Amino acid sequence: MTTPHTVAGKVVLIFYGFFGCSGAILFFNLFLERIITFLAYILRAIHERGQRKKGLLGGGERRRRSSQGSEDEQLDSWKPSVYWVMLILTLGALVVALIASGMYHPVEEWTYWEAMYFCFVTFATIGFGDYVVSQRAEYPNVVLYRLGNFIFIVLGCCCIYSLFNVTSIVIKQVLNWMLRKMNCECRIRKPPMTRRNAITPGHLQRRNTVKTAVASGGGASGTGGATAAGGKGGAPTVTVTDADGDSDSEYRRNSGEMISMKDFLQANKISLAMMQKQLWETSQRGSYNNSGRGFQGGVGPLAILNRKLGQDEFDPAM
């Protein structure tokens, strides 16, 4: 159990831990990208082989030439199932833990269950410290034991990190499925509200509209009518009143009149959505235009999994 005791040693540990943890996260993300790419390649080969056995791909020479483009597009658009990837990563992490436990069991004199428990806590970076390796004074073949300990911990952390990220996508899909099954019962349905002026309440506007219509001598016929009222310069202003007495003057405002915050947000909802879409497209364009030069693509494990698996959002197949 090596720990710093001096102030200088603790300061060095802070900087070392900052850059060391950042580099470790980058290493785990690169491992995640490589292992997902490898699994996607294997699963695609299996899928293509199954499609050819069913006769959906290949066939005669003329058919192969005519449908080569469509087959390539079909295979390119195909994405492996996140559940198969999760299963393979689970088996891989379990194999690493079983082999590592076979080493810890005789050397540290733990039971096999205790060794498996240590592997999960260590690989998941939980690190309770209730079981710690290399605490005895002497070990047989100590150099080989420490080398094997290092290799198993690195492989186990990479596998568990990849498995946790894929599992987070599955949890997200399950939550989305549950919300869709609930059919949005948690939403409170409010009665439709008519748009009102920010200064004059709606019932006062209707009363003023009726008074203006009576004073001008106009009237309404049927369920709706047009009323003429004198405006500035003698020009008549047409006001249409519906069956409920609502006037379209509620929806028309002069240039110097204030509007409510609700109307402002409704008027700018589409423009805000378009702005968000443009920002997203700009970021994606900047990420994928650098192909062949350094790191490219999305940032973070979810972006990597979405690009490789294409199942970051809700899966309708559930």
Express each pLDDT in 196-245 by its tens digit. Answer: 544 445 555 555 555 555 555 554 444 444 444 444 444 444 444 444 44
CA dist., res. 142 & res. 134, Å (int) = 9
Kindly report, residue by residue over 158-209, the tens digit of the pLDDT: 999 999 999 998 998 899 888 888 876 655 555 555 555 444 455 555 555 5
Q: Is 58 exposed, middle or buried (0-12, 13-18, 19+ CB in 10 A)?
A: middle
Q: Contacts for 263-266 with beta carbons within 8 Å, 24 or more apart?
A: 263/195, 263/198
**Is residue 8 pLDDT above 50, yes or no?**
yes
Tell me which of 81 and 303 has the higher pLDDT: 81
pTM to 2 decimal places: 0.60
Cα separation values, 140 from 1, 28, 101, 107, 137, Å: 19, 32, 17, 8, 11
pLDDT at 181: 83
Using one digit for the tens of pLDDT, what is the confidence trace for 54-75?
Answer: 776 655 544 555 555 555 565 5
pLDDT of residue 90: 96
| Domain residue ranges of the chain, discontinuous segments joined by + | 7-181, 202-250
Label residue 135 by pLDDT band (50, 70, 90).
confident
Whether 306 shows a pLDDT value over 70: the answer reads: yes
Distances from the Cα of 284 to the Cα of 34, 146, 279, 287, angstroms? 21, 44, 9, 5
- pLDDT tens readout for residues 254-276: 555 566 667 766 676 667 677 76
Q: What CATH class is the domain 7-181?
A: mainly alpha
Residue 248 has pLDDT above 50, yes or no: no
- Burial class of residue 9 (count of CB atoms within 10 Å of its CB; 0-12, 13-18, 19+): exposed
pLDDT at residue number 59: 52
pLDDT value for 228 = 45
Give the chain's largest Cα–Cα span. Answer: 109
